[in-house]
Chains A and B, each alone.
Chain A
């Protein structure tokens, strides 16, 4: 294994005796505390931890950071992920000591500022989605989905409907939808999309029976298409006693334009890290508030936040509540950022978010379809899906285009979804990108299309200019090395050879 200095681990840079943090030296009583703890409670096993000075630690992490793409440095046309700009005012707000140092179990009377933030955010989310009430507890979109499934079950159980064991999911859905439903014990039934990429009413009706607990939908769906029959879909599901679940991953298309509540959805999760601009953080923390229609309100997790007079009060949920889904009250640091975002944009700004996101996506679709076939050539919402299936002769997959884009400083589009499109490239520009950026992206795609014909190897070997070439994922999975201790055990040390 070739190891450059900047891919050395902290553990490998460590030298005995170095210190990175200065700590108080004064003990109240050095002979007590740890000293008096009986031997059997003490750690015997040596602790292999790095020993580095502060400048070394800082350089270590700054060097690591330079190996990342990020929205502050790169364009991410990453479908269904809504990689928009994260306003800096949000970060400033979350860092204020008056928020950062508030303990979750201090008396509520001393935490009225943060409670007001959460309360007003809930009001705003209710208005924006048309839902009756929200829980702000779920820590991420998938956590919101799980909470949603629990709500579905609690709702049906309260009505004595124990037969409802099926959850319908379109074949275009995100992977989390079937995973969340199955994790919670539901039998997942996939609905085949029609030729226009939508849920077909007829197919739905064939599957709708009194065993269906709910239909999970993303609207616009993962093809970026609005489910035009949504009102009829909702009526049909409700008529059969089922609930309608809204996966809010694509809600960036609908701010101020249409509301899931008006469409008839009963449960909605939002991804604050997508639509409401909180940073993705390299994969979390996110936040996945869940909103519900009137009839699902009694089942919401507790505690719930109310305003009594001028006082904000956290109270236990009622007897029908599914219970608590997370310790304390949710990722309040993210809730605060979303609150600031909504205040920054106001209603007009929120509308503009979706309008510009839709316009950017349609513009890209129109330009890109001259280069690669489009999955469904109709006006799209916030994203569009291309298909690369015509390049089998060259051995090119959609993922190869993603890898080649990295060389041009553009993050790869989404390639795992939707499953209904062969060799899909799902592209979502978001509203915070300029026309110039989009034009540059189109230009780059033209160059890549040309390369497929002239020099397919250039794609198959891509990327060429990043800190690493393609990693050997098969090796990683066949012989997992997941920690420095694994390296020590397997003797994968700095001076030694390639594992495996």
Chain B
């Protein structure tokens, strides 16, 4: 077996040293009724055969590799500099353990510290953790933080927050004393201010908005943080962190917590994971932040050193009194995001954000001019927007798939009232020719 070095000779010697006559003697503690289960797993195949098999399965999929894709909705196709995977494929990073032994993990710890630094810059909040599983779970943890911090029972969530994220919050709150109440959005796909304000009662722990929201629209949150804070609640913002490079950051909107999905930074679509959740907070909530935190310190000789810190919040110290049960972060994904952001740099990240806005705005303008399709022309957006069609979406999608185009994500499964509406996304990966092709093919549907 090519991963298992013990030879028959080794085993014989080892059994002798242990002082047993056969391997079975080591398993005497296991009741015989449990031994030798019948297991229907196929026999091994060689690496060569696996390569063929796996390549075959990969080829069964269609993807942004062979299709022109306008899919977004929480998972985005972006340009990734080649150097990113060179970094993440370093064995010393991807086959390392969690950095409990700081002396043997300075690479990982410094990278996490830099990731935290980049995230706090983007969100404009004081503290970032080492990352979380993904955007949805990061948001659910933020909601839990808000109910614990305020000792209140209710969380208000905009219906323009990613449907999966709302479902995950619902799951996390199910069976607890806490509940989630949603406020709607209007014809303009922006949150319904009147409804939000009417639901902002004294029992509200936290209020969740997404911007750019699920429909791609930039939410006007002017005055929101004052209202939320006057009510003694926490303002939780989620949204695409790439947008924060040029658009008003959560910190500038007055958020207490900014959490969400970091996939746009260097992570493959990979059918939905692994991605990387970001989690950032104002300083007053620092000790309630779940998950790992890397901090700066000095070693015994006064040299700069990094270590995991504020571990008194964590499960391996506090057990049932921990702030959260999580132990891993998504370290390697955070590393990819860190390398990606570092390569883009101060100017590059702004340019990528601006290119996204350019592509999406151009596409929206073109589609506005097409008969049979409607878009909201004047809403400020980032890289996504909604198209309403007079034709059944299924039919339209079928036709476009034949042209090797993924037209976008239908909204009806998430919002039954939004029939024949779909969310399209155009990132910097799309050229003007791509966009024109899409418009032409849409027109011919």
Contacts and interface: CB of A to CB of B under 8 A. Distances in A.
A475 to B, nearest CB: 5
Contacts of B94: 70, 86, 91, 279, 281-282
A188 B319 CA distance: 10
Nearest to A146: B325
Contacts of B331: 281-285
B273 A41 contact: no
Highest count of chain B CB atoms <10 Å: which of A43, A325, A349: A43
A285 B330 contact: yes
A415 B286 CA distance: 27
Contact of B57 (A42, A84, A116): A116
Interface string B346-357: 111111111101
A62 B335 CA distance: 12
A412 B16 CA distance: 28
A286 B332 CA distance: 10
Contact of A33 (B95, B113, B222, B358): B358
A300 to B, nearest CB: 12
B118 A103 contact: no
Given A51-B346, A104-B269, A485-B117, A471 B332 contact: no
A3 B162 CA distance: 44
Interface string B319-357: 111101111111111010001011111111111111101
Interface in A435-489: 435, 461, 463, 466-473, 475-477, 480-487
Contacts of B165: 327
Interface string B237-264: 0000000111111011000000001000
A308 interface: no
B60 A116 contact: yes
Interface residues of B, number: 206
A179 B171 contact: no
Nearest to B315: A179
B63 to A, nearest CB: 4
B1 A282 contact: no
B17 A363 contact: yes
B256 to A, nearest CB: 17
Given A188-B319, A477-B310, 7 more contacts: A9-B113, A141-B327, A175-B322, A179-B319, A285-B331, A334-B274, A345-B44
Nearest to B63: A101
A37 interface: yes
Interface stretch (A18-26, A201-209, A289-297, A386-394): A18-26
Contact of A107 (B27, B39, B45, B397): B397
A140 interface: yes
Size category of the binding interface on chain A: 35 or more
B79 interface: yes
Contact of B171 (A2, A117, A258, A301): A301
Contact of B90 (A61, A81, A92, A350): A61
Contacts of A9: 110, 113-114, 117
Highest count of chain A CB atoms <10 Å: which of B43, B131, B317: B43
30 contacts: A1-B303, A1-B304, A7-B110, A20-B83, A28-B361, A45-B124, A49-B346, A64-B108, A71-B95, A72-B91, A74-B104, A89-B47, A96-B58, A98-B59, A98-B65, A104-B269, A106-B62, A113-B56, A176-B315, A183-B325, A231-B31, A259-B37, A284-B333, A285-B328, A323-B167, A328-B273, A356-B6, A406-B101, A475-B298, A483-B113
Contact of A356 (B4, B136, B249): B4
A128 B51 CA distance: 24
Interface string A149-184: 010011001000000000000000001101111111
Contact of A124 (B41, B77, B348, B380): B41
A70 B79 contact: no
Given A26-B432, A182-B322, A185-B176, A76 B97 contact: yes
